[in-house]
Amino acid sequence: MTTIQISPARLHADSSLQAFQTFNRTVYEAVNNRDFGILEMACRLARYASRVALWVRKAEMERTGYHLSMMLSWLCALTNRMGLSMEQEVATYCVIELQSGAPIAELQKTFAARHTDVSLERACLCLAEKVLGVASELEYYQETHEVEHFRNMAKRMAQSVEALLVVAGKLDLSLGEELARYFEGGCNHCHRIPCGFGFRTDKVV
């Protein structure tokens, strides 16, 4: 009998957005399907966005790389739940010629070059606006099931990716490196692939 071996997804500093989305699916899809509704997922996203805003306002940014990494993780989880490709949505709504498989670092450089005159504080404000827009459009979509709100939600998710990469750039963080730091071994909590821990209370500081 032949045993088929499937290599577990591994994340590296030069991983692409697509790779991170696939990684997220492999690690978290089962536990997220079991434990999280889409509005709860959007709430997790908002929770990390509020932490980014708080610690930037207080000029204590030691944990911001972690918070931004968790935000991208929840954005990818939502993208997976909605059956979308984050890479495609970013290419469409952020109007960027994005080669499939391009490292996140490359994307970060491109977005940084677009927003050189934007301050860190304004970049955080933009990030909060886009993330709250995701939650708002998700709720509209749940209420109406209108495709317009579905597309608006996808647009806000793509714009959230751009905004968080801009914030990372303003902080001189490489988001690709930050993601590898927290997710290289699998789930950032239990370090398994897939996550074997289940529901996470995720008390955020």
To Zn ion, the closest distance from the beta carbon of 34 in angstroms equals 12
Q: Count of residues binding Zn ion (CB under 5 A)? A: 5
- 23 vs 141 by CB, closer to Zn ion: 23
To Zn ion, the closest distance from the beta carbon of 51 in angstroms equals 20
To Zn ion, the closest distance from the beta carbon of 19 in angstroms equals 19
Q: Which two tokens stand for residue 75?
A: 């954005």
Quick note: the x/- pattern for Zn ion over 139-178, rule CB under 5 A, is ----------------------------------------
Instruction: For residue 16, list its beta bridge partners.
Output: 103
- 41 vs 124 by CB, closer to Zn ion: 41
- 24 vs 108 by CB, closer to Zn ion: 24
- 123 interacts with Zn ion by CB under 5 A: no
Give the alpha-carbon dihedral of 19, 43, 54, 121, to 10 degrees: 60
Which residues touch 185 (CB under 8 Å, ≥6 apart)?
A: 191
Best CA proximity match to 192, nearest among 180, 183, 200:
183
To Zn ion, the closest distance from the beta carbon of 18 in angstroms equals 22
Site for Zn ion, residues 172 to 201, rule: CB under 5 A? 187, 189-190, 195, 197
To Zn ion, the closest distance from the beta carbon of 5 in angstroms equals 22
- 57 vs 191 by CB, closer to Zn ion: 191
- 38 vs 195 by CB, closer to Zn ion: 195
Measured in whole angstroms, the distance separating CA 106 from the mean position of its chain's CA atoms is 16
Range 33-41 contact pairs with CB under 8 angstroms and sequence separation of 24 or more:
33/81, 34/198, 34/199, 35/198, 35/199, 36/77, 38/78, 38/81, 38/82, 38/138, 38/142, 39/135, 39/138, 39/139, 39/142, 41/74, 41/77, 41/78, 41/81
User: What does the binding site for Zn ion look like in residue numbers (CB under 5 A)?
Assistant: 187, 189-190, 195, 197
